[in-house]
Amino acid sequence: MPWKHPTAKHGEGPNLPPANSGRGGYYKDDGPGLNPPSGLMDLPDAVVKAEPYAKWANRPYSVFGQSYTPILHQDPFVQRGVASWYGVKFHGQKTSSGELYDMYKMTAAHPTLPIPSYARITSVETGKSVVVRINDRGPFHASRIVDVSYTAALKLGLLGKGSHQVEIERLFPDDPIRMASERRSLASEAQSAPPEIAALMLEDRVRTDSAALAQVVPKLVPRGTFYVQLGAYGRSGTAEAMSERLIDAGVEVGKLEVVKVGSVNRLYAGPFEDRDDAVAAARAVPSSFGLKPIVVKR
């Protein structure tokens, strides 16, 4: 059945340049469509979960004379570069996963990340981040590292801009060095927690290096290593400004600090003695600040 554009009220979509204007991250002759549906900014991020890899989408391949080998290991993956997005021109077409591309879902295309897999994409300029599901291959341009869906681009603030520096961080549904008992405890806590905190706890992940991942025997994590990441920003001044806003508003989330990791400035609250304290601090952050608190271990 031919795809029909979703019904939307006229004028609700963002004001975008024409597809052939030379601006914007989408491909020539592509664009957002005439009337994108309303409420896309409120669309939830992709939920990280365990999925079997697509049978045919993770073999080595070549495009335009360039060879690519998909990543099938479970090591941490962080990449920085330019993002683009693709829209109505590809909507409804089959992706490398065999699924049909839906520009109104939180998905992305990457040359080598497993299909399917999940990644957090953060705008280096604004600090906005989204979680997407990788279900397609591309982009096949030397200057770009990822193609995000129209909706992901909208939430990241990438629409109508010519250059989008981002950081990609692969997310895993489970952490290989976490003890099985801790995983069961976390699942139990998440079931009894309010929905927003349950989602936050399930996103909690350990930041570690490849050597630690290779160890078979899990190690106990010292107390006092839990933090709440409040945001990630391209400019340190932006992170400091958010810290001052929280302090001026009397938001009690503990000690605030800005830590520069590569080109990204991360705003943390903590440390906290245990996970419960960190979750409580994250819960204390008013939604009016537009932040997405994440409990992490450092």
pLDDT at position 158, please? 87
**CA–CA separation, 284 vs 199, rounded Å?**
15
**CA–CA separation, 84 vs 162, rounded Å?**
9
Tens digits of residue pLDDT in 76-130:
888 989 999 887 778 888 999 999 999 999 999 999 999 999 999 999 888 889 9
pLDDT at position 31, please? 62
**CA–CA separation, 55 vs 257, rounded Å?**
44
pLDDT at position 163, please? 63
More confident residue, 49 or 207: 49
pLDDT at position 37, please? 77
- Beta partners for residue 81, in sequence order: 166
User: What domains appear along the chain, each with residue ranges and CATH number?
Assistant: 40-171 (2.40.40.10), 180-297 (3.30.70.1070)
- Kindly tell me if the per-residue pLDDT of 222 is higher than 50: no
22: Cα separation from own chain's centroid: 27
- Kindly tell me if the per-residue pLDDT of 17 is higher than 80: no
**CA–CA separation, 36 vs 55, rounded Å?**
33
Using an 8 Å Cβ cutoff, are 48 and 118 in contact? Answer: yes
Which backbone phi and psi does 281 adopt, to 5 degrees? -65, -40
Q: Which of the residue ranges 64-68, 106-110, 197-201 would you say has the lowest mean pLDDT?
A: 197-201
End-to-end CA distance of the chain: 50
Give the per-residue SS3 of the chain: CCCCCCCCCCCCCCCCCCCCCCCCCCCCCCCCCCCCCCCHHHCCCCCCCCCCCCCCCCCCEEECCEEECCCCCCCCCEEEEEEEEECCCCCCCECCCCCECCCCCCEEECCCCCCCEEEEEEECCCCCEEEEEEEECCCCCCCCCEEEEHHHHHHHCCCCCCCCEEEEEEECCCCCCCCHHHHHHHHHHHHHCCHHHHHHHHHCEECCCHHHHHCCCCCCCCCCCEEEEEEEECCHHHHHHHHHHHHHCCCCCCCEEEEEECCEEEEEEEEECCHHHHHHHHHCCCHHHCCCCEEEEC
Nearest-10 crossing angle of helices 195-203, 180-192: 160
Read off the pLDDT of each residue in 238-252 and give the average, rounded to a whole number: 87
| Strand 107-109 relative to strand 264-272, pairing | unpaired
- Kindly tell me if the per-residue pLDDT of 14 is higher than 70: no
pLDDT at position 52, please? 92
What confidence category does residue 204 fall into, taking pLDDT thresholds of 50, 70 and 90? very low
- Kindly tell me if the per-residue pLDDT of 56 is higher than 50: yes
**CA–CA separation, 110 vs 101, rounded Å?**
14
